[in-house]
Every structure is written in C-alpha cells, then in structure tokens.
Amino acid sequence: MFLKAYAHAAPQGRLRIWVGVFDNPVPPPMLRFEVDGAVVQPDNVAPGETGLFPIRDGRDRHHQGTFELSVPRGGRQHQVAVIADAEHRCSLLTRSLPDTLPSLLDGEFHLMLTSCYYQPNDGGGLLGTTVRQLRQQPDMVVMAGDQVYLDLPLFEDLPEGEQALAQAVGDKYLRNWASDALDVPGLAPVLGRAPVVCLPDDHEYWNNYPFRQKQLPNTWQRQVRERWARSARNLFHDYQIGGAPSDVPRGAVRIDVLPLRMLFIDMRSVRDMGFERLMSPDAREALVQWADDLLAAHARREPAVGLLSSGQALFIDPPREESRARDVDAEMGNFREFGEVLAQIDRLTSAGIPIVYVTGDVHWSRVAKAVDAISQRTLLYEVICSPSRLISTPFKDEFKGLKALFGGLFGAKDPWPRHPNVGEVPAHFGPGRRYSPAKEKGWRGDRVAVLSFSGGASVRMSVTYYAIHEDKRLTQPDTVGPYTLNNI
C-alpha cells in the first residue's frame, strides 16, 4: 500500500486535500490528518467513516477521498501529514489561499498555468525540473485541460469491454498522478506545487469529444463510445475532483482572492452532438453568479476584476462548416450556449469591468488583449499556455524532424521542430464585432506560465513564461506586462 496527497484550491481558511490510497486492502484504512504537527479532524467526514471511495478503474484496489481541513487563517504555508498506520503515510507542503491580493509593496499572488501534458514524451522529467525551479513561488495552480491523453498513442488498441477499458484508462491516470511513487515522469511535481484547480478538455475523453473520430475505432459504435465516455468521466472525477462518486462532473469552481473573482468552468464534459449545450445547469448558474458578484462590487465602487478559465481559446474563429467541427475540432463558438458566455462577458465589459481569460489547448502560447468598441478601453485579456509536453503525431513528426535536420545544416537549428506556429487572433470578436483583439506576444514550444497579480485601487498583472527544454539557453523566463486592470 502507498499514499499520495495533493491540495485542491479552497476558500480562505480551508485546506482541501485529495488523498489516493493505492494497492490497499478492502475495506480501506481509517486516515488521520496532522496540520503543522496538530491532529485535525476533517470537517466533511463523520467519526467512524473513512471518507474514501473506490477509484473506478476496474481493479478494486485503489481508493480516493477529498478531505476538508480548517486552518486558522489563509495565505500561509502548511505541512500536512496523512497517516494510515505506522508504516504508511505521506506528507504534503502546501499553502492556504489568501482572501485578498497583496499590495505591490507586499508581493504578488502567483497563479501557475499549465495544460496539454503527454506523459510518454517527458522521459527526462523536464516538466518537474522546470516547475521546481520557477522564479516565483506559486500560490495556486490551474491545470487547464488535457492533463491525460486517453486516446493516445494513436494506434493503441484500446479494449472495448467495460472493465478492461476502465483499467487501461486508470493506468494512464495512475502514471500521471502517482508518478513520483512509481519512479516515472508525471504530474506529481505540478500537483504538489500549490493548491490546484483541474479543468477537462477533449483528451480527458478523446479528441473532439463527444464526436466520433475516424482515427479512433472505439468511437465508431455508440455503445462502445458511451462506455469510453463513462470510464473517462468516472476517472476524471476520481482523480481530478475526488470525493463521493458522481456521474456528472462538477461544473465549476469559484475562488475569490479579492478583488480578483475567479471562475473555472467545465465546458467540455456535457457537450452534446447537436451543437447546443456547453455547460451543466450548475455551471451556467455559477457563471451568472460570478458576473452578478462582480457587478455588485462595482456598484459599491469597489475594485473588481474577473478571471474566467476553461479548456479552449476565446479569441479564435470556430470552424464554419459543421462537418469540419464534427470531424476535426469544434470550438466553444460552435455551440449555441456559448452565446450565454458572451452575454455575461458583455454585461461585465459594459460596466467597465476587466476580464482575464485563461486557457490551454492549442499547442502554442500567447498573450492577447482586446479593446471594447463601445468604451474604447482594453477590457479583455487572454492568456494561453500550451503544451507542457507535446503529443506525438505519427508520420508528421518524422517529416518535421527531417525538415529541421536539413534546415539546421544551412541555418539556425529550430529548437521546436514539431511545434506549430502561434495562431493569429481574429480581427473582431463577440456579438456585433464588439471587441478588437491584438496579440501582445506569442511563443512556440513546451512551456508553463505564471500570472502574477497585485492589488490595491487597481489590479496589476504580468505573465511570465518558462520554456521546458534541455538547452538551458532557451529556458530563461520571458515576462510581458505589467497590465493595469482598473474598473473604477
């Protein structure tokens, strides 16, 4: 038996600890918790209950639970010990979130952003090395989708039976979440860096989920496709959310570090094949509440800045042909319900409230901002960081490698031969072509980013990108900003 633990982002004064108990006996053990050396009883587990639930990977020997622990005040570092018995325990050094942003003279609130991690291509564990050596100490981590690639490698012969499929999917999660215990590269260094919010995108299921894909035979038949979706949904919940089993993933996570109000919203898991639905009802409700709270703060003449995050880019033109959206990659803008997202953005920008949108997905990184045609103010910002380790694409990778080899004989060697170029922003965005986006800067290659915020009458934001590469000359941090986000 071995234990793994990491922290979810939680409101001020709380720690939310996900615990995995692997290769454990049935029934699972009773766990004890210590925070900074003092025994703490989880608020959400009744005495005599374990608070652990089977991980639905078809094996019946792994369990998980999410435990709520109270701490005296936020914004501090805490040593958490999780104890099963004298021989089995694990520890976690984490932080509780502050309730307000620090002033510029007192420091900054650092939010680390990562997405699109393909574990088989991280043989040297470079993601972990980079994350451990960040110049800033993250207060919080956002994993903006494609933490696992259930549909890769492309020619993998995934089983069709329910139990065998759950086992194959579960093995991929285990290698990522418990990578340090298994002595393989993985996401453990990211998960352990600071309290985390996990958002899904399509590869938590399969490319362009929920649509069938020509290159993925397991999506061709409805019954097999539904089994895959069910296993993927179960394991996304068990590893990336945790707690009592649910057939419907949590729709949204709300975290406020005032005056920054943050909403992390799942716009992937409940998509339908008729291009109607993007969000669950509770996610839609959370979106409206987030906008209402920002507007209420603005009405009180308080500083108010919104941060919104999901799994796909905002400043991007969706495919116009329905066939291409089904067969290649549907964007949020292909779905009718995206109009409700734009309606809330318009409510906020009409009041002069700035919004930062944070995401991954596209396999390049970019900072962009958009001017509102009505107020002539810059009120929308988009920060993209993708990938952290690029996927493998058979045949195309080999061709790009040969092209880079011959190109390097006659000029500078391309450090990122397999990575695509940075996408351009559309000339206009939103209803009535209201917003005019412009690219600030873009980056190719594997990266993580850190968004740094400070408070006061205005919120200041800067974004620092860190390349993940063997060549140390390429890994110097690159910062854009600061930007002043002011609604008063």
Give strand pairing partners of 160: none
**Which DSSP string do the residues of 213-237 spell out, in sequence order?**
-TT-GGGTSHHHHHHHHHHHHHHII
What is the distance between the terminal CA atoms of the chain, rounded to a whole angstrom?
A: 55
Main-chain dihedrals φ then ψ at residue 361, nearest 5 degrees? 85, -45
Give strand pairing partners of 103: 455
Say what the pLDDT of residue 248 is.
76
Q: State pTM to two decimals.
A: 0.96
Q: Distance between CA 142 and CA 354 in Å, rounded? A: 20
Say what the pLDDT of residue 412 is.
75
Over the stretch 76-119, which tens digit does the pLDDT of each residue have?
999 999 999 999 999 999 999 999 999 988 999 999 999 999 99
Coil, strand, or helix at residue 243? Answer: coil
Q: Distance between CA 319 and CA 322 in Å, rounded? A: 7
For 100-485, the fitting CATH number among 3.40.47.10, 3.60.21.10, 3.40.50.300, 3.10.310.70 is 3.60.21.10
Say what the pLDDT of residue 404 is.
52
Task: Determine whether 167 is exposed, middle or buried from the number of CB atoms within 10 Å of its CB (0-12, 13-18, 19+).
Answer: middle
Q: Hey, where are the domains in the chain?
A: 1-99, 100-485
Q: Distance between CA 54 and CA 49 in Å, rounded? A: 14
Tell me what percent of the chain is helix, strand and coil, each rounded to the nearest 5: 25, 30, 45
The CA-based dihedral angle spanning residues 26, 197, 8, 65, taken in that order and rounded to the nearest 10 degrees = -20
Give strand pairing partners of 204: none
* The amino acid at 276: E
Say what the pLDDT of residue 475 is.
93
Using an 8 Å Cβ cutoff, are 338 and 278 in contact?
yes
Q: Tokens standing for 153?
A: 């490698």
Q: Distance between CA 3 and CA 83 in Å, rounded? A: 9
Q: Is the pLDDT of residue 411 over 80?
A: no
Coil, strand, or helix at residue 316? Answer: coil
Q: Is the pLDDT of residue 458 over 80?
A: yes
Q: What is the mean pLDDT of the chain?
A: 94
Closest to 122 in 3D by CA, of 165, 168, 184: 184
Say what the pLDDT of residue 125 is.
96
Q: Distance between CA 360 and CA 356 in Å, rounded? A: 14
What mean pLDDT do residues 398-424 have?
Answer: 72
Over the stretch 174-207, which tens digit does the pLDDT of each residue have?
999 999 999 999 999 999 999 999 999 999 999 9
Using an 8 Å Cβ cutoff, are 365 and 385 in contact?
yes
Q: What is the DSSP letter of 426?
A: P
Q: What is the CATH number of domain 1-99?
A: 2.60.40.10
Q: What is the DSSP letter of 297?
A: H
If pLDDT is split at 50, 70 and 90, which confidence band does 270 have?
Answer: very high
Give strand pairing partners of 263: 254, 308
Q: What is the Cβ-side half-sphere exposure of residue 63, based on CA atoms within 13 angstroms?
A: 19
Is the link from the previous residue into 153 a cis peptide, with omega within 30 of 0? yes
Q: Which residues contact 87 (CB under 8 A, 6 or more apart)?
A: none
Q: Distance between CA 329 and CA 334 in Å, rounded? A: 10
Q: Which residues contact 10 (CB under 8 A, 6 or more apart)?
A: 16, 68, 96, 97, 195, 255
